[in-house]
Copies of this chain bind each other. A is one copy, B any other.
Amino acid sequence: MRMSKEAAAASKVRIIEVASRLLRERGIEATSIADVMAAAGMTHGGFYKHFQSKDELVTAALDAAFASHVERFDRRREENGTQAALDAYVDEYLSPEHVTHAGFGCPVAALGADAGRSSAVVSSAFSRGTEDIIERYVRSAPAGSDVTTSRRAAIRRLAAMVGAVVIARGVGPGALSGEVLAAVSEMENFPLVPRPSRTS
Interface residues of A (CB under 8 A from B): 25-27, 29-30, 91, 94-95, 102, 108-117, 120, 123-124, 126-127, 130-131, 151-153, 155-156, 158-164, 166-167, 169-172, 174, 176, 179-180, 182-189, 191-195, 197-200
Contact = CB atoms under 8 A, between A and B. Distances in A.
25 contacts: A25-B117, A30-B117, A91-B199, A91-B200, A94-B198, A95-B198, A109-B113, A109-B166, A111-B170, A113-B114, A113-B166, A113-B170, A115-B171, A116-B169, A120-B172, A123-B171, A126-B170, A130-B167, A130-B170, A152-B182, A156-B186, A159-B159, A159-B180, A161-B163, A187-B193
Copies of the polypeptide in the assembly: 2
B171 A127 contact: yes
A120 to B, nearest CB: 7
Contacts of A151: 179, 183
Contacts of A174: 127
A182 B149 CA distance: 12
Contact of A195 (B158, B160, B185): B185
Contacts of A198: 91, 94-95, 185
Contacts of A162: 162-163, 166-167
B158 A167 contact: yes
A110 B153 CA distance: 24
B195 A130 contact: no
Contact of A113 (B27, B155, B171): B27
B199 A189 contact: no
B95 A200 contact: yes
Given A124-B172, A155-B179, A160-B163, 10 more contacts: A27-B114, A29-B30, A123-B170, A152-B179, A153-B183, A159-B163, A159-B183, A163-B164, A186-B197, A188-B193
